[in-house]
Amino acid sequence: MFSALDSNFSEVQPGETNRANYRDEPVAFFFIIYGLCFQTLLKMINRDDSESKQMIPIVLDALKKFLRPSISGNAVYKGFVFAETTDLLDRLVLMENGEVQISVIQIASSLAKYHPYAAKFGQNARFGSKYIVYLLQETHQWT
C-alpha cells in the first residue's frame, strides 16, 4: 500500500537487509493520513464511550505502520511535527488503558530507534532503547 502511495512498486531483492531507508521527503499523502490520524486521536482522547475505546487502538496501529523513515522521511522529526506527536502520545499514556499505553511506547521506541541523530549517540541510544523496553515491561505489568 505504501509503495502505491509513493508510486514505487519495487520489491525487496533477496539478500537485502531491512535497514532504515531515510527519505528527504515523505511519500505522497503522508501529511493527509498523518493529519487524519492525529485529528481522530485528539477527538477520541476526551471521549469516554465504546466507540472511542475501539477507535484509538486502530488509529495507533495505523500510526505504527507509517511513522517510519521509509514512509515519513525526516518529516516526522521536524520541530513542530515531532513536538505535537510526542505531546499527543504523552496525553494518551496518561489518560488511556494499558493496551493503548503499550502501543504508544512501541511508537515512541520506533521514533527513537529511527531518529536521524540516534546513531550519533552510540551508547546513549542503546541505553535509551533499554529504558524504553523497561517502560514497556512496567506498563505491561499494570494491565
Confidence of residue 70 (pLDDT cuts 50, 70, 90): confident
pLDDT in tens, 108-118: 888 888 877 77
Which of 24-28, 44-48, 70-74, 95-99 is least confident? 24-28
Cell numbers 465504546: residue: 50
pTM of the model: 0.69
Q: Are 36 and 62 in contact (CB under 8 A)?
A: no
- Cβ atoms of 5 and 26 closer than 8 Å: no
HSE value, Cβ hemisphere, 13 Å, CA-based, for 78:
11
pLDDT in tens, 89-103: 999 998 888 899 999
CB 23 within 8 A of CB 3: no
**pLDDT on residue 54:** 93
